Amino acid sequence: MLAAQRRTLLLDRLARDRRVIAKDIAAELGLSEDSIRRDLRDLAAAGLCQRVYGGALPASPAIADYTARQAVSVDSKQRVAVAAAALITPGSTAILDGGTTALAVAQALPATLSATVITHSPTVAAALGTHPHVEIYLLGGRVFKHSMVACGAAAVEAASAVHADVFLLGVTGVHPDAGLTTGDPDEAAMKRALAQRAADTYVLASAEKIGAASRFTVLPLDAVAGIITDAPASDDTLDHLTARGVPILRA
């Protein structure tokens, strides 16, 4: 782990847990507390966190949000993202959903990839800006702040004009009965509209999503071409899904 990565890890934890304890992080990373303290001191000097006795607190909600975008490497989402990125083949057209996992997919695309990516997420589009050979098509509309995606009637309308080979769909739950779910009705409608515009829909489902269900159904399970997950092979929910004929792609 690079020292610079450790700092983003600290900011990430800060955003997630709303606090950081120097001793715990030192033990977790196998470093001396001195190094962690030095990091926290420097981050505080840069205004990125607030130093307190025993650890640190977030500097402000805005900063915490900003840093949360820079996810740290080898975690569950990253594995799923790398596997999903392989589905966007050179020359193809893909629809990329919003959310943190889809953002990780955008960042995991090889820098040399030549393809067309359609997205309703400004964050994803911004991340794709560093890929010189990726054509970006942005779907506009009212931006739903929680997940930073364009939703609503205008966005659905804009989606109706596109066609793609694959749609990489992010959800908050994959459940044997409830199907694929998310937390907002407008978001669900937008995802549903996007699924209709692609030949194949693949679901991005890091391990914690498997077996979970949110309030609004996006699609039934049999409407997708595959579910990409890093959940362990012995997962009961996955066995149910496999029994129903839903292809599981191991990340």
Q: Segment 81-140, which members bind its own copies (CB under 8 A)?
A: 82, 85, 107-112, 120-127, 129-132, 135-140
- Residue 2 interacting with its own copies (CB under 8 A): yes
- The length of the chain, given as a count of residues: 251
Tokens of 132: 């010189």
Which contiguous run of DSSP H or E holds residue 241?
helix 236-243
* Closer residue to its own copies (CB): 36 or 180: 36
- Residue 243 interacting with its own copies (CB under 8 A): no
Q: What is the rounded CA–CA span in Å between residue 108 and residue 199?
A: 22
Q: Which of 13, 15, 55, 95 binds DNA (CB under 7 A)?
A: 55
Q: Interface mask (CB under 7 A) for DNA, residues 4-43, using x and -?
A: x-x---------------xx------xxxxxx-xxx-x--
| HSE value, Cβ hemisphere, 13 Å, CA-based, for 129 | 7
Residue 35 binds which entry of its own copies, DNA, none, CB below 5-8 Å type-dependent: DNA
Least distance from C-beta 129 to its own copies, angstroms?
5
Q: Which of 28, 65, 236, 239 binds its own copies (CB under 8 A)?
A: 65
Q: Which residues contact 91 (CB under 8 A, 6 or more apart)?
A: 114, 115
Contact 32, 18 (CB under 8 A): no
Least distance from C-beta 31 to DNA, angstroms?
4
- The candidate with the shortest Cα–Cα distance to 197, out of 156, 231, 242, is 156
Please state the φ and ψ torsions of residue 30, each to the nearest 5 degrees: 70, 35
Helices 76-85, 100-108: crossing angle, 10 deg rounding: 50
Task: Compute the Cα dihedral for 124, 130, 135, 141 and give only its sign.
Answer: positive
* Closer residue to its own copies (CB): 4 or 233: 4
Site for DNA in 168-207 (CB under 7 A): none
Q: Interface mask (CB under 8 A) for its own copies, residues 191-220, using x and -?
A: ------------------------------
Binding site for DNA (CB under 7 A): 3-4, 6, 22-23, 30-35, 37-39, 41, 51-55
